[in-house]
Amino acid sequence: MYQNKHDNYKFLLLTRLAHDTIRVGSIHTRVSLAAEQNLRAPIVSGVSRGSGEYFSRVGIGNPPREAYVIIDTGSDLSWVQCQPCTQCFTQPDPIFDPTQSTSFGSLPCNSTTCNALDESECRAGSCIYEVSYGDGSYTTGDFITETITFDGGDTIHDIAIGCGHNNDGYFTGAAGLLGLGGGSLSLPSQINATSFSYCLVDRESNSTSSLNFNTNASILPADPTLITAPLLRNPTAETFYYLGLTGLSVGGTTLSIPTRSFVIDKDGSGGVIIDTGTAVTRLESRVYELLRDEFRKGTSHLPTADEVAIFDTCYNLRGQESVEVPAVEFHFAGGKSLALPAKNYVIPVDTEGTFCLAFAPTTASMSIIGNVQQEGIRIGGEVVGATSKGKFWLWNGLKVREGEVEDEDRMAAKLLLLWAGQVIGVGCGLCCGGNVEVAKDSGVAVLGDCGDTAVRELMDVFVAVKAN
């Protein structure tokens, strides 16, 4: 729920968008250069910690020391700040001290694991790692093995992570980073996970969702909102998860997108990745313009506002109780479509009632589905092998009573506003631990962990907008 708890809400957003732009450029540059346990860890929004990222909480070492780490499907190496610090950024939690852990182990320079690093050196026979990010952030330190503890006390031993003694950059509120990419050093690869899933809570929510390993789509109910999409591999960029996106619709109109806009080319360029570390979805410029122009047609009744940073389509919704915006859908190979909640693409950018279309263009040929568009959707990947194709599945966690869905419902999305002009988040289903049944006649969707009383109270207060 967007409650704008921070006085510097717009500053935080603009800072995050600036960082986002640099990260996207870095991703494009990287591509151009070319025993099972059911494990679970919580996921929380980083807003309460002054960050625009998403965090998970894990235990490092023995005894486990709690660490909040940024979850990143666009990175492989996991790391935490370590004592002694040559250069460390400020973190809310105590910095990990490897001398206090009985499970600490060093990695020799000639080890296969050390040689898997993109950049490494040898110091006193031990492996040293170095990672630089596109925004100027970096981490350097000992490449070690440690025990990681998940929710419920489940532990995994001898996981290779970075123990950073020299770190700086945009890691506000974090102790480090959890690499969930597809490379050999990522956490899913090291624990031989056959699948993993995650759900990103609403950015301004205090709710907790989960990161799960070795669970698959079979745990979900038979539901037409469960979407499966091909998981594609790019030999030149094994870290990234490419989805078989085939098209987009706005307000029920399928956009006339050039055939190869979402295809991975022979040189490794192009394609569509899904990334938790990028905030706003980037589309190839000509594709973005098609989406934006169609969206503007469907919102001509709304008062416009000035552009904000990377957003060129904004509206002044101050004082409005509810508005109607065109529905946006992703289409995947196999004929499956995912309708995004309105709050996932029309977002507040200040506390004055300004909302913007949360997509942006890129001059690169590769598109990126960012975390704003992923909010409230349980996203999972089932991987058959390190180099083979698997599948991704996406579930929006919402059910509509049988017989109450009409074709016109696909034409418009409901964006519910508080009296002050802020967004009410739609239900997050498995994110928050339960399904939400949404009646068409109420149009109200609430967080999945709300009780019946809260549902009734919301239905009494908020007005839903019907499709024309």
- Supply the residues annotated as catalytic: 72, 275
Helix or strand holding residue 459 (H, E): helix 452-461
Beta strands in 136-225 (DSSP E): 138-149, 155-168, 176-179, 195-198, 209-213
CA distances for 337 relative to 103, 281, 366, 396, angstroms: 46, 17, 20, 11
Torsion of CA 289, 293, 295, 299, to 10 degrees: 150
Q: What are phi and psi of 336, to 5 degrees?
A: -85, 145
Helix or strand holding residue 11 (H, E): helix 9-32
Residue with token string 């000639």:
110
Separation between Cα atoms, residue 98 and residue 100, nearest integer Å? 5
Helix or strand holding residue 284 (H, E): strand 281-284
Tokens of 314: 């904004």
Separation between Cα atoms, residue 168 and residue 49, nearest integer Å? 17
CA distances for 272 relative to 194, 243, 426, angstroms: 22, 6, 26
Contact yes or no for 87/166 (Cβ under 8 A): yes
Separation between Cα atoms, residue 293 and residue 295, nearest integer Å? 5
Residues in contact with 107: Cβ distance below 8 Å, sequence separation at least 6, in sequence order: 113, 114, 126, 127, 143, 144, 145, 160
Separation between Cα atoms, residue 251 and residue 325, nearest integer Å? 8
DSSP line for 298-309: HTTTSPEE--BT
Tokens of 302: 């709304």
CA distances for 457 relative to 231, 319, 450, 460, 462, angstroms: 41, 21, 11, 5, 9
